[in-house]
């Protein structure tokens, strides 16, 4: 869970979501992991058959709260089966959608997009941490903050700003100050140190700050920022290496995604810039338009959602499952790289897509 949540922090899931460990003992010894898009009774059966006691899925099995567990529907049947067989269920859902190397980046790679970025970056996730350090300890404090996850700006790490100034304090009775004497006003040279900090790392960053800072009382400020987190958010936008005709682009979709059908809107111009969102992505049509995309690829578009973007971009509905079908590769790469020698990491053979196509 630590490895999965370092890559897709739970704090990045949407408010309606329910990602994380869904069922099972967090101390369970992992014997094998089966990866699936959805967790169904057949997937749990396959896990047991193939010697796996953890299922890692994209969609959370428990999404709406349960009031009883009687096996009345497939969700409850899956859960009962997992409990009876001592199989743990874990889901990384919108938190995996929202990271830069998640579901949408994977889909963009499969379509051959270049120069990509997140389509709708998320505000409210970042803070600025300011602290005041005697210059002798600035390097150590910064090193501790970086190790705790502060100071990252896009692909740049160890980012900080510092300015020299004068700090004043009077240690109270009973203190044992790093510098100065109780009851005596003290003036000292200090660095004001500023770093960017993801809000969900606040607790560990403050613990690291206190451990590395020489003062008994550490002065700091955490200021929540309006800035969007450039590496976290919904959808993705990138460019095809060469422009394709709308028909060629739809052929690319069918081949790359193995889909028999693409539902689309009429569009005449060449397709070069492509926005996309795995799963149900109608909420990003406006962002795709604003980004100047020639096509927007997603799933689960409803009839009336096809209206409104006429002549501006081609809407392409490739199916919810189909747009997310490569998500298992993200889990597999991550788990195999970290635990490949400890236990097997297998992709489920069970097809969980309930949608069929007739022609
Ligand atoms: Zn989905």
Residue 340 scores a pLDDT above 90? no
- Give tens-digit pLDDT for 244-289: 999 999 999 999 999 999 999 999 999 999 999 999 999 999 999 9
Residue 341 scores a pLDDT above 90? no
Average pLDDT, the chain: 96
For residue 314, the model assigns a pLDDT of: 98
Kindly state the percentage of the chain with pLDDT values over 90.
96
Residue tagged 């428990």 (tokens): 62
CATH number of the CATH domain containing 131: 3.30.70.120
Say yes or no: 133 and 221 in one domain. Answer: yes
Quickly count helices (H) and strands (E) in the chain: 11, 15
Please give the distance, rounded to the nearest whole angstrom, from the Cα atom of residue 96 to the centre of ligand 1: 11
Say yes or no: 205 and 244 in one domain. Answer: no
- Give tens-digit pLDDT for 343-359: 999 999 999 999 998 87
Residue partners of 217: CB distance under 8 A and separation at least 6: none
**Is residue 352 packed enough to be buried (19+ CB in 10 Å), middle (13-18) or exposed (0-12)?**
middle
Q: Is residue 142 assigned to a domain?
A: yes
Please give the distance, rounded to the nearest whole angstrom, from the Cα atom of residue 58 to the centre of ligand 1: 7
Please give the distance, rounded to the nearest whole angstrom, from the Cα atom of residue 103 to the centre of ligand 1: 9
Q: Is residue 359 assigned to a domain?
A: no
- Give tens-digit pLDDT for 88-131: 999 999 999 999 999 999 999 999 999 999 999 999 999 999 99
Q: Indicate the number of domains in the chain.
A: 3
Please give the distance, rounded to the nearest whole angstrom, from the Cα atom of residue 37 to the centre of ligand 1: 8
Residue partners of 116: CB distance under 8 A and separation at least 6: 105, 108, 236, 237, 238
Q: Is residue 8 assigned to a domain?
A: yes
For residue 296, the model assigns a pLDDT of: 98
Residue 58 scores a pLDDT above 90? yes
Please give the distance, rounded to the nearest whole angstrom, from the Cα atom of residue 322 to the centre of ligand 1: 10
Please give the distance, rounded to the nearest whole angstrom, from the Cα atom of residue 321 to the centre of ligand 1: 7
For residue 359, the model assigns a pLDDT of: 78
Please give the distance, rounded to the nearest whole angstrom, from the Cα atom of residue 107 to the centre of ligand 1: 13
- Give all strands of the β-sheet with 220-224 in edge-to-edge order: 161-169, 186-198, 126-134, 220-224
Say yes or no: 218 and 183 in one domain. Answer: yes
- Give tens-digit pLDDT for 220-230: 999 999 999 99
Residue 332 scores a pLDDT above 90? yes
CATH number of the CATH domain containing 14: 3.40.1390.30
Please give the distance, rounded to the nearest whole angstrom, from the Cα atom of residue 286 to the centre of ligand 1: 20
């Amino acid at each position: 869970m630590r490895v999965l949540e370092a890559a897709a922090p739970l704090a990045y899931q949407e408010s309606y979501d329910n990602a994380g460990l869904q069922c099972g003992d967090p101390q369970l010894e992992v014997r094998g992991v089966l990866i699936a898009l959805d967790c169904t009774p057949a997937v749990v059966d396959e896990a047991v058959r193939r010697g796996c006691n953890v299922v890692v899925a994209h969609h959370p099995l428990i999404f709406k709260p349960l009031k009883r567990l009687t096996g009345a529907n497939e969700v409850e049947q899956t859960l009962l089966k997992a409990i009876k067989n001592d199989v743990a269920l874990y889901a990384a859902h919108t938190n995996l959608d929202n990271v830069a190397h998640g579901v949408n980046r994977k889909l963009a790679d499969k379509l051959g997009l270049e120069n990509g970025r997140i389509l709708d970056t998320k505000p409210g996730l970042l803070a600025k941490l300011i602290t005041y350090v005697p210059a002798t300890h600035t390097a150590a404090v910064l090193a501790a903050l970086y190790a705790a996850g502060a100071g990252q700006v896009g692909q740049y790490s160890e980012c900080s700003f510092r300015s020299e100034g004068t700090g004043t304090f009077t240690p109270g009775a009973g203190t044992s100050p790093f510098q100065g004497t109780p009851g005596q006003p003290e003036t000292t040279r200090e660095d004001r140190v500023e770093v960017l900090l993801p809000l969900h790392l606040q607790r560990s960053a403050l613990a690291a700050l206190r451990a590395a800072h020489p003062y008994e009382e550490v002065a700091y400020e955490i200021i929540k920022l309006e800035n969007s987190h450039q590496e976290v958010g919904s959808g993705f936008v990138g460019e095809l290496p060469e422009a394709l005709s709308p028909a060629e682009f739809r052929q690319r979709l069918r081949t790359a995604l193995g889909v028999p059908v693409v539902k689309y809107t009429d569009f005449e111009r060449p397709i070069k810039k492509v926005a996309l969102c795995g799963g149900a992505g109608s909420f990003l049509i406006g962002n795709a338009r604003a980004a100047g995309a020639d096509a927007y690829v997603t799933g689960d578009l409803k009839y009336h959602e096809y209206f409104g973007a006429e002549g501006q971009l081609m809407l392409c509905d490739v199916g919810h499952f189909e747009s997310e079908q490569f998500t298992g590769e993200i889990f597999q790469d991550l788990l195999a790289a970290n635990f490949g020698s400890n236990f097997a990491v297998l992709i489920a053979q069970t097809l969980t897509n309930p949608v069929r196509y007739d022609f």
